[in-house]
Amino acid sequence: MTVSADPHTDFPVGFRGRVLRPGDNRYDAARALYQGRAADEGPALIAQCADEDDVATVLRYASARRIPVAVRGGGHGSDEYAMPGGALVVDLSPMKAIAVDPVTRVVRAQPGVLLGELDAAAQRHGLAVPAGTVSTTGVAGLTLGGGIGHLMRRYGATVDNLLACDMVTVDGRKVRADATENPELFWALRGGGGNFGVVTAFEYRAHPVGPDVVAGQLIVGFDRAADVLGRLPAHMATAPRELGLLTAITLAPAPTLPEEVHGKPVLVLVPVYTGDLGKADEAIAPLAALARPLANLVTPMPWLRANSLLDAIAPHGKRMNSTGGYLPALSADAIDALLTHGSSAPPNPGAATTINLWCMGGAISQDTAEDETAFSREGAAWLWEAIAMWDTPEQDSPYAQWATAVDAALRPHSLTNGYTNLTDDLGEEWRRGVHGSQAKHQRLRAVKAAWDPDNLLRFNKNIAPANTESARAA
Ligand SMILES: Cc1cc2nc3c(=O)[nH]c(=O)nc-3n(C[C@H](O)[C@H](O)[C@H](O)COP(=O)(O)OP(=O)(O)OC[C@H]3O[C@@H](n4cnc5c(N)ncnc54)[C@H](O)[C@@H]3O)c2cc1C
């Protein structure tokens, strides 16, 4: 990494948090992200904010000088936008307050909170906020992109349960966005990503969940994978909303499996049933009968464990690539593409290079209309995501090639809309369609123009403001 002259010698002295520059003791630890490629280049200045006043101080400084600003929430993005080389970074990781009101079931979280922390705080009151599946993911980036997980069929996406945001504008003003105050901004914050300002608090509606649920893995031999995937749509069409289902085409995880399949491709079904425990068997047994698994590891367990089962295959600091899309149906051709490419993934011990397939339906598909939020879900029956993880820059090429090949094979079966958080930026055409209709795209550009006309928040899946040259080209 090259260290250049400090471009921020005039950074405001009134900033109360920690300011880190290249060469400072804690700089390298602070710039480390989930995405290992972030280590290749470092930002010019990391402003670790103590509170929203600090956020306002940095943004006022940046907007007065028209300096673009990167934002780090939980640091779990699959790209390096949270710590770009040479950038000024608003780092929210110290802002970790969580407040749970057990009576109203409203949960308020600051943007440095991670999903495991949110889950633990809510579970102390028997509650959960519908969110993601890996406990080290940040609430901030996840929420602003949409938020999907084991509870989405029962309670919807995270944004469907978002009640309000506190936000600092790019020129340093503090505003609130909810259904009545700045409603258009609130609409855009529910799926439009970090394009409009820096969110300093999220308020969610939580729901009773657990403490025990029934979850685990059904490991299906690869010879049966096509048949099982072919029959899943009909099965899940009548499954209860309390049953979440993620499937993965991956290399067999040892040591829970017979030795003969170690290192070989398998189909893994991950059911998570969060309803009445007395009815769990009714929900799981037919799925297990359909799957006829080599190993059935589904068992009662605390929700906190079920919602961190995937942590084991999601280690921090790997170099990674993520791409994905929505499938309107699991056609035979799509299944063939999933299995062909899932079984040819370059292996990486201790991490998942895998194609995941999430079953949509239920609340996420039926309870919130497409145009109610910027997050798009129209027509999506299944969501696929291909994740490649590896260790060194020398390995970049084979893993990136695998991801490109998966994308090329599955894109023709996919919808134009998609989930921004589980796909690295695929360029302008993808960004134009990923939120759904052209009307939604134009609406997002208008909100961007109103709140960030100079596009200072551009280190993201960027929505070009409606009044700029780049927007006219979009
Ligand atoms: C292993 C893995 C598992 C995942 N599992 C799931 C899952 O189960 N469900 C799911 O929905 N997603 C999942 N994701 C995707 C995840 O939602 C995104 O990566 C998300 O961006 C992470 O948010 P973060 O705050 O941790 O990341 P960061 O990298 O800190 O932030 C991502 C981006 O969000 C913006 N941002 C962050 N905080 C703010 C803020 N306060 N104000 C304004 N903008 C902000 C910035 O543009 C930033 O670049 C997963 C990702 C990985 C790598």
Q: DSSP characters for 88-120? A: EEEE-TT---EEEETTTTEEEE-TT-BHHHHHH
Q: Whose CA is nearest to atom 1 of ligand 1?
A: 314
Q: Give yes or no for residue 469 having a pLDDT over 70.
A: no
* Residue pair 448/374 in contact by the 8 Å Cβ criterion: no
DSSP helix/strand/coil, 44: coil
User: What is residue 126's predicted lDDT score, i.e. its pLDDT?
Assistant: 98
Tell which CATH classification among 3.30.465.10, 2.40.50.140, 3.40.50.300, 3.10.105.10 matches the domain 98-208: 3.30.465.10
Q: Whose CA is nearest to atom 15 of ligand 1?
A: 421
Residue type, 427: G
Token pair belonging to 56: 């306002």
Q: How far is the CA of 202 from the centre of ligand 1 (A)?
A: 14
User: What is residue 94's predicted lDDT score, i.e. its pLDDT?
Assistant: 98
Closest ligand 1 atom to Cα of 419: 11
Question: Which numeric CATH code is attached to 18-91?
Answer: 3.30.43.10
* Architecture per CATH, 212-422: 3-Layer(aba) Sandwich (3.40)
* Residue pair 115/131 in contact by the 8 Å Cβ criterion: yes
Stronger pLDDT, 230 or 342, i.e. the higher one: 230
Q: How far is the CA of 131 from the centre of ligand 1 (A)?
A: 11
Shared fold status for 18-91 and 212-422: no
Q: Give yes or no for residue 2 having a pLDDT over 60.
A: no
**Over the chain, what is the mean pLDDT?**
94
Distance CA 401, CA 351 (A): 18
Q: Whose CA is nearest to atom 44 of ligand 1?
A: 194
Q: Give yes or no for residue 473 having a pLDDT over 50.
A: no
Distance CA 405, CA 355 (A): 12
Closest ligand 1 atom to Cα of 92: 41
DSSP state of 275: S
**Residues of the chain above pLDDT 70, percent:** 96
The residue extents of the domains of the chain are 18-91, 98-208, 212-422, 428-473
Read off the pLDDT band of 350 (50, 70, 90).
low
Distance CA 69, CA 114 (A): 22
| Pocket of ligand 1 contains residue 325 by CB under 6 Å | no
The preferred substitution site among 33, 49, 76 for testing ligand 1, maximizing ligand atoms within 8 Å of CB, is 76
